[in-house]
Structure 1
Amino acid sequence: MDPIFSRIICLVICTLVSNSAFAQQRRPNVVILLADDLGSEDLGCYGGPVKTPVLDSLAERGVRFTDFHAGAAVCSPSRATLITGRQNLRTGIYGVLQDHWHNMHLLEREVTIAEVLQQAGYGTAHFGKWHIGMTSGKRKKPSPTEHGFDYWFGLSNGASPSHKNPVNFRRNGKPVGPLKGYSCQLVVDDAISWLETKANPDQPFFMNIWFNEPHSKLAAPDEIVSIYGDLKDEAAIYSATVDNTDRAIGRLVAKLKKTGQLNNTLIIYSSDHGSYRSDRNGGLNGNKGSNFQGGLRSPGIFFWPNGFRGGRVENTPSGSVDFLPTICGLAGIDKPNGVHLDGADLSPLLTEKGTFKRDQPLLWLSPASGHLATLRDGNYTLMGYRGYKLPSDQARKNELLRQMAKMAGIDPSTPNLGSQVTNTTFSSPEYNRLKGEFVRLRTFQEAWIPTIKAGGFSRFALYDLSTDPLQKKDISKQRPKVTERLKKQLLTLYKDVMADAPDWNLK
Structure 2
Amino acid sequence: MSSLALFAQKQQKPNIVYILADDLGIGDVSAYNPNGKIITPNIDQLAQSGVRFTDAHTTSSVCTPTRYGIMTGRYSWRTTMKSGVLHGYDPPLMDSKRETIAGFLQKQGYTTGVVGKWHLGWNWNNREAGETKIDYSKQVKEGPNARGFDYSFCIPASLDMPPYAYVENGFCTSIPKDSIAGMTGIRLFRAGLAAPDFKPEEVLGKFTEKAIAYINENAKKDKPFFLYFPLAAPHTPILPIGKFVGKSGVSPYGDFVLMVDDVVRQVVETLKKNGVYENTIIVFASDNGFANPADMKAQLSKGHNPSIMYRGVKTDIFEGGHRVPFIVSWGGKLNKGKVSAQLVSTTDFFRTAAELTNATISDNTAEDSYSFLSEITGKNTRYAKREAVVHHSSNGFFAIRKANWKLVLCSHSGGNSFPKENSEEAKTLPSVQLYDMANDIAETKNVQDKQPLVVQELTDLLTKYIRDGRSTQGVNQTNEGPSHWKQLTWVKE
Q: Same fold (TM over 0.5)?
A: yes
The residue aligned with 2:407 is 382
Distance 2:437 2:314 in 1: 19
Percent of pairs identical after alignment?
28
1:357 to 384, 390, 407: 384
Report the AA paired with residue 182 of structure 1: E
Residues 1:246 and 2:287 are matched in the alignment: no
Worse-matched range after superposition: 31-40 or 174-183: 174-183
1:95 is matched by which residue type in structure 2?
S
**Shift in CA distance, 44/220, structure 1 to aligned 2, threshold 3 Å:** same
Structure with greater helix share of residues: 1
Select which of 494, 499, 507 maps to 2:466.
494
1:305–1:252 CA distance, 2 compared to 1 (3 A):
closer
Q: CA deviation at 1:91?
A: 4.2
Residues 348 and 467 (structure 1), Cα distance of their counterparts in 2 relative to 1, 3 Å cut: same
One-letter code aligned to 2:17: V
Determine if contact 2:91/2:123 at 8 Å carries over to the other structure: no
Alignment of 1:405-484 (within 5 A): 459-484=431-456
Provide the rounded CA distance (Å) in 2 between the counterparts of 1:379 and 1:366.
20
Q: Kindly state the Cα deviation for residue 324 of structure 1 after the two structures are TM-superposed.
A: 0.7
Distance of 1:271 and 1:197 partners within structure 2: 26
Q: CA RMSD in A?
A: 3.1
Match of 1:57 in 2: 45
Distance 1:214 1:326, change over 3 A: same
Residues 1:110 and 1:283: Cα distance change in structure 2 (over 3 Å): same
| CA deviation profile, 1:394-443 (whole Å, cap 9, x unmatched) | xxxxxxxxxxxxxxxxxxxx95699xxxxxxxxxxxxxxxxxxxxxxxxx
Q: Are positions 1:325 and 2:354 aligned together?
A: no
Q: What is the CA distance between 1:33 and its match in structure 2?
A: 0.3
Q: Which amino acid aligns with 1:358?
A: K
Amino acid at match of 1:286: G
**How much has 1:61 moved relative to structure 2?**
0.8
The amino acid across from 1:97 in the alignment is V
Instruction: Verify the 8 A CA contact 2:216 2:270 in the aligned structure 1.
Output: no
Q: Sort the Cα spacing of 1:332 and 1:108 in 2 relative to 1 into closer, same or farther, 3 A.
A: same
Structure 1 residue 275, shift from structure 2 partner:
0.6
User: 1:250 Cα shift?
Assistant: 1.2
Higher gyration radius (CA)? 1
Q: CA deviation at 1:483?
A: 1.7
- Offset of residue 327 of structure 1: 1.8
In the alignment, which residue of structure 2 is the partner of 1:444?
none
User: Partner of 2:25 in structure 1?
Assistant: 39
User: What CA deviation, in whole Å up to 9, does each residue of 1:15-73 have, x standing for no partner?
Assistant: 9x987863443211000000111101101211233232111111001000111111211
For 1:256, the equivalent position in structure 2 comes to 271
Query: Distance between the aligned counterparts of 2:21 and 2:402, measured in 1?
Result: 26
Given that residues 129 and 158 in structure 1 are in contact (C-alpha distance below 8 angstroms), is that contact kept between their aligned partners in structure 2? yes
User: 23-32 or 59-68, which moves further after superposition?
Assistant: 23-32
Whole-angstrom distance in 2 between the partners of 1:248 and 1:145:
24
Determine if contact 2:51/2:338 at 8 Å carries over to the other structure.
yes
Shift of 1:308: 2.6
Residue aligning to 2:107: 119
How far the C-alpha of 1:384 sits from its partner, in A, is: 1.0
Structure 2 unaligned regions, length at least 5: 128-139, 175-196, 297-304, 421-429, 471-476, 484-493
1:194 aligns with 2:211: no
Count of equivalent residues:
417
Indicate whether 1:29 and 2:26 are aligned: no
Q: Does the 8 A contact of 1:99 with 1:134 survive in 2?
A: no
C-alpha displacement of 1:110: 2.0
CA contact (8 A) 1:67 1:315 kept: yes
Q: TM-score, normalised by structure 1?
A: 0.75
Give the deviation of 1:202 after TM superposition: 2.0
Paired residue for 1:276? 291
Q: Give the unaligned 5+ runs of structure 1.
A: 1-13, 230-234, 388-413, 419-457
Matched, 1:503 2:475: no
Q: Tell me the SS of whatever aligns to 2:19.
A: strand
Equivalences for 1:31-180 in 2 at 5 Å?
A: 31-47=17-33, 48-99=36-87, 102-103=90-91, 105-139=93-127, 142-159=142-159, 168-177=165-174, 178-179=197-198
